[in-house]
């Protein structure tokens, strides 16, 4: 059996498409979908309650901590295979689950993650980042143990034996694969639509906290000079992408976005 574990919080814009796509998968195994909604107020919870094929569980009591919620959901699952699929990550075809879990039949594989397509309204810099991180996987394979929990698969037995860290607020997926020196397989043929056009305030918060989390995982803080070089290098890549794709209306955004992103990460590593 495959247990699809779906977290959500105020995802009404996407949750219907995600659930419908998951319910219509063509896969040679039994599938259960377990939903854990984090107190949504936009109608997400009411929609989930209206779907008869869905098994709903309440989130753990207390402050939301990703690893704590993930471990609890795993403990509630019945499947041999665990698939994490965010409530706003929309599967793009009926073979999504079948393709995603297939590599897990090889006992040497510890976990898998799927391909993420940026949404049609994604900013150009966001779309470029997703194409580099996912796509055919040729770029991100050189980034060490790059991994994304948004669309991913594990064996339940492994997660029970080696649970997620429930003491950190960000990067719990990266922490797991690095702590366990996981053998990761990227499945380009398991595709979801997923991206965020974060505000600059949200970018600042996200990358600051990723810097904090990376330091907690034992990574060395980066220097200010390295952060500035990262701003320049990524901005140059952004401009090449913008001009290649004719996105001239966004030419003023890349240096602002990259400054906030890279300097916030730098400050997080110093925290």
pLDDT of residue 217: 84
Q: What mean pLDDT value characterizes the chain? A: 95
pLDDT tens-place string over residues 172-208: 999 999 999 999 999 999 999 999 999 999 999 999 9
pLDDT of residue 218: 83
The Cα 38–Cα 41 span in angstroms is 9
pLDDT of residue 146: 93
What average pLDDT does the segment 147-168 reach? 95
pLDDT of residue 220: 87
The Cα 177–Cα 173 span in angstroms is 6
pLDDT of residue 64: 87
Cβ contact 171:65 at 8 Å: no
16/220: higher pLDDT:
16
Model confidence at 170, in pLDDT bands (50, 70, 90)? confident
- Evaluate if residue 41 carries a pLDDT over 90: yes
pLDDT tens-place string over residues 107-157: 999 999 999 999 999 999 999 999 999 999 999 999 888 999 999 999 999
pLDDT tens-place string over residues 215-266: 988 888 899 999 999 999 999 999 999 999 999 999 999 999 999 999 999 9
Lowest mean pLDDT among 76-85, 88-97, 140-149: 140-149
What average pLDDT does the segment 84-110 reach? 97
């Amino acid at each position: 059996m495959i247990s699809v574990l779906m977290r959500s919080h105020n995802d009404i814009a996407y949750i219907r498409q995600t659930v419908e796509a998951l319910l219509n998968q063509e896969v040679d195994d039994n599938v259960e979908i377990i939903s854990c909604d984090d107190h949504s107020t936009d109608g997400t919870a009411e929609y989930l309650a209206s779907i008869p094929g869905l098994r709903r569980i309440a989130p753990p009591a207390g402050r939301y901590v990703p690893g704590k919620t993930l471990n609890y959901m795993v403990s509630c699952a019945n499947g041999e295979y665990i698939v994490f699929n965010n409530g706003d990550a929309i599967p793009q075809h009926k073979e999504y689950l079948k393709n995603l879990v297939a590599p897990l039949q090889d006992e040497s594989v510890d976990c898998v993650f799927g391909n993420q397509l940026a949404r049609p309204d994604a900013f150009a810099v966001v779309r470029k980042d997703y194409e580099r991180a996912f796509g055919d996987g040729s770029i991100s394979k050189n980034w060490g143990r790059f991994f994304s929990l948004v669309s991913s698969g594990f064996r339940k037995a492994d997660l029970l034996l080696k649970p997620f860290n429930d003491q950190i607020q960000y990067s719990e997926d990266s922490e797991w694969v690095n702590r366990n020196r996981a053998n990761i397989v990227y499945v380009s043929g398991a595709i979801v639509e997923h991206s965020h056009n974060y505000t600059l305030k949200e970018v600042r918060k996200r990358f600051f906290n990723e810097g904090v989390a990376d330091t907690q995982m034992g990574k060395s803080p980066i220097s200010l000079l390295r952060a500035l070089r990262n701003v320049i290098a990524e901005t140059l890549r952004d401009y090449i992408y913008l001009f290649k794709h004719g996105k001239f209306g966004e030419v003023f955004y890349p240096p602002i976005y990259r400054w906030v992103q890279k300097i916030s990460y730098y400050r997080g590593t110093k925290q």
